[in-house]
Structure 1
Amino acid sequence: MIKLGDYNTLTILRETSVGLFLGDDEGTDVLLPNKYVPKSYGIGEKLRVFCYLDHEERPIVTTLEPYIIRDTFELLRVMEVNNIGAFMDWGLEKHLLVPFSEQRNKMQAGHWYVVRCYLDEKSERLVASNKHDKFLSNENLTVNVLEEVDLIVTRHTDLGWEVIINNQHKGLAFTSDVYQKIAIGDKLTGYIKSIRPDHKIDISLQPLGYMGLEPMANAIYERLTAAGGFLRLHDKSSPEDIREVLQMSKKAYKKGIGTLYRERKIEIKEDGIYIVDKQ
């Protein structure tokens, strides 16, 4: 079955004046317009194409790669707003509709929003929504504490940054746990810091526990190398100074330099830390 809103690998069946017709194993065929036909091809060959609806709501395929596919979240820009809804640029000729009913707040042209693309069952059309919670659930969790996960940043609140976890769950990175500049739409690697009894998930953007020791040490050593072998940071440096220079907490910094010191890669002096010259 050809899946609308996703990539499909289809067989070239025949060529016509308007383009190539491609088909699946179930006897369904669809048009690849001339403008997307590759320079060289052969009947019977396979092509990886994206399927969506054209301006007349007919299934069609393209070799273009959209910015978002069905059942995923991405940061997209609104190109125009009319009496139907907002239309977003998703890398294809026909813009992606966000109906007013699927807007958390009224969208504005030129602004960027994290949205989910999905197939509307009533209209059988691909649309988008930035009402994230209707697509996310923490009821049956598929993640565990300390696990590495994929994140997309969705909103900044008084507590911190709301994130989508593995395209399935909702989490929060508290401001006190964020030591780097991030923005809405950023895709990051994160770690499950804790799961509360009510299934709310706290996120860390840095490895936790034993997982964090080597990455923190490596990050400090790389920054030391880039700075010529010296950083004006020491045990009494403020958390703010450490965050500004290394984008990590003071606790992580102390663990990292402890690892480097034990491995005899650095010297710790009153004015800062130095790379050990092994020559």
Structure 2
Amino acid sequence: MKERHSRHEQDRRLQAGTVVPLRVARKAPFGYFVTNGDIDVLLHQNEVTSQPKEGDVVDVFLYRDQENRLAATMRMPHVREGEYGWLEVVNVVPKLGVFLDNGMAKDLLLSIDDLPKRQQEWPEEGDKVLVTLSRDKRDRLLAKPADDQIILTIARPASPEMRGRWVEGTVYNLIAEGAFVFTETEHVMFIHRDEMPRPLRIGADVYARITYVREDGRINGSLRAPKEQQFKEDADRLLAYMMKRDGTMPYTDESSPEVIRETFGLSKAAFKRAIGRLLKQGLIEQSEGRTRLRNEGREAGRAD
């Protein structure tokens, strides 16, 4: 007698996240039903890449639809289970997480449980994150971000002569002390928060300078230019700020660190260095709680 299987047992035979060959059982108004002989699965018309005929065997990727029913698609995902790849963020839903484009009609969820607690550190639309496929207890597909162990298996050790170079990379992890970046040269870089003039988020692209090459081949980096160049850029920023405001501003080296950072994105120490540079060059003067451009400063500002 033919053995009977429950629907749950049959579903386990056809598991979400796998690519399997299934026979086209019949055509329906909204697509096709494909089967393994035990269970029929809907292959929606939107998921068809070529029009099969009844009896044809087609390779399909299985997933769970919105009602948690097993469904099929002929569109192969960018990333499969056991593989890692960079997927683009297409939507951010604060109560759920972020949705990624995995090459299918149904976007892939990177759950809030696998994202930083601070939403400001979540990836934004257009960012890319390195993930693989995983399944929850209900066999639904989810994105799982690459951890340090995975990153280290694909990373290459840096050589000492790379120090001082500028490289592009993508933030893949954030901790209290700073950000971890996977560079386009396939190196692991750590950027301390002191070397970040602006907050970073997961998935953000950065252009960073290699400041140190560790013995294990990992690198430290900075988003800041070398000191002398950075000092000049900070001073030029203050000069440009005053040029747009009739040559004056209500800030001096006595202003609070919070106001300075909010207004210029600079630390109090960097602001004071920039003010000192402009004073030494004779481009500004300070009095009554304000900083003003001298004539030489206005000429310098117009020249820039």
TM-score relative to the length of structure 1 = 0.52
Q: Are residues 97 and 235 of structure 1, via their aligned partners in 2, closer, same or farther at CA, if it must alter by over 3 Å?
A: closer
Q: Are residues 143 and 217 of structure 1, via their aligned partners in 2, closer, same or farther at CA, if it must alter by over 3 Å?
A: farther
User: What are the residue-to-residue correspondences of 1:58-77 with 2, within 5 Å?
Assistant: 73=86, 75-77=88-90
In the alignment, is residue 169 of structure 1 matched against residue 180 of structure 2? no
Which letter maps to 2:165? E
Give percent identity, aligned residues only: 20
Q: Are residues 93 and 259 of structure 1, via their aligned partners in 2, closer, same or farther at CA, if it must alter by over 3 Å?
A: same
Equivalent of 1:115, from 111, 129, 134? 129
Match of 2:146 in 1: 131
Match of 2:265 in 1: 247
Which letter maps to 2:249? L
Equivalent of 1:217, from 225, 235, 248? 235
SS in structure 1 of the partner of residue 220 of structure 2:
strand
Which letter maps to 1:131? A
Extract unaligned runs of 5+ from structure 2.
Answer: 1-48, 50-60, 62-71, 78-83, 133-141, 300-304
Whole-Å separation in 1 of the counterparts to 2:288 and 2:161 = 43
Match of 1:180 in 2: 198
Give 1:140 shift. 3.2
SS in structure 1 of the partner of residue 162 of structure 2:
coil
Match of 1:9 in 2: none
Whole-Å separation in 1 of the counterparts to 2:187 and 2:198 = 23
Structure possessing the higher radius of gyration over alpha carbons: 2
Equivalent of 1:90, from 95, 101, 105? 101
User: Contact 1:78/1:88 (CA < 8 Å) preserved in 2?
Assistant: yes
Whole-Å separation in 2 of the counterparts to 1:274 and 1:180 = 27
Whole-Å separation in 1 of the counterparts to 2:129 and 2:284 = 46
Aligned length: 201
Match of 1:67 in 2: none
Match of 1:25 in 2: none
Match of 2:17 in 1: none
Give 1:143 shift. 7.2
Q: Which structure dedicates a bigger proportion of its chain to helix?
A: 2
User: Contact 1:153/1:187 (CA < 8 Å) preserved in 2?
Assistant: yes
Equivalent of 2:176, from 158, 179, 185? 158
Q: Are residues 147 and 233 of structure 1, via their aligned partners in 2, closer, same or farther at CA, if it must alter by over 3 Å?
A: farther
Extract unaligned runs of 5+ from structure 1.
Answer: 1-32, 34-52, 60-70, 81-85, 119-126
Match of 2:52 in 1: none
Which letter maps to 1:90? D
SS in structure 1 of the partner of residue 240 of structure 2:
helix
Match of 2:74 in 1: 56
Q: Are residues 168 and 222 of structure 1, via their aligned partners in 2, closer, same or farther at CA, if it must alter by over 3 Å?
A: farther
User: Contact 2:159/2:213 (CA < 8 Å) preserved in 1?
Assistant: no
Equivalent of 1:149, from 146, 158, 167? 167
Q: Are residues 191 and 90 of structure 1, via their aligned partners in 2, closer, same or farther at CA, if it must alter by over 3 Å?
A: same
Pairwise CA RMSD of aligned residues?
Answer: 4.5
Whole-Å separation in 2 of the counterparts to 1:77 and 1:142 = 38
Equivalent of 1:206, from 185, 205, 224? 224
Give 1:87 shift. 10
User: Which string of whole-angstrom CA distances, capped at 9 and with x for unpartnered residues, describes residues 99-123 of structure 1?
Assistant: x9xx9x668xxx96652379xxxxx
Which letter maps to 1:245? T
Q: Are residues 224 and 87 of structure 1, via their aligned partners in 2, closer, same or farther at CA, if it must alter by over 3 Å?
A: closer
Give 1:148 shift. 2.4
Give 1:168 shift. 1.8
User: Contact 1:88/1:95 (CA < 8 Å) preserved in 2?
Assistant: no
Q: Are residues 163 and 273 of structure 1, via their aligned partners in 2, closer, same or farther at CA, if it must alter by over 3 Å?
A: farther
User: Contact 1:193/1:208 (CA < 8 Å) preserved in 2?
Assistant: no
Match of 1:5 in 2: none
Whole-Å separation in 1 of the counterparts to 2:102 and 2:213 = 37
Give 1:72 shift. 7.0
User: Which string of whole-angstrom CA distances, capped at 9 and with x for unpartnered residues, describes residues 79-116 of structure 1?
Assistant: 99xxxxx9954395545768x9xx9x668xxx966523
Give 1:141 shift. 4.4
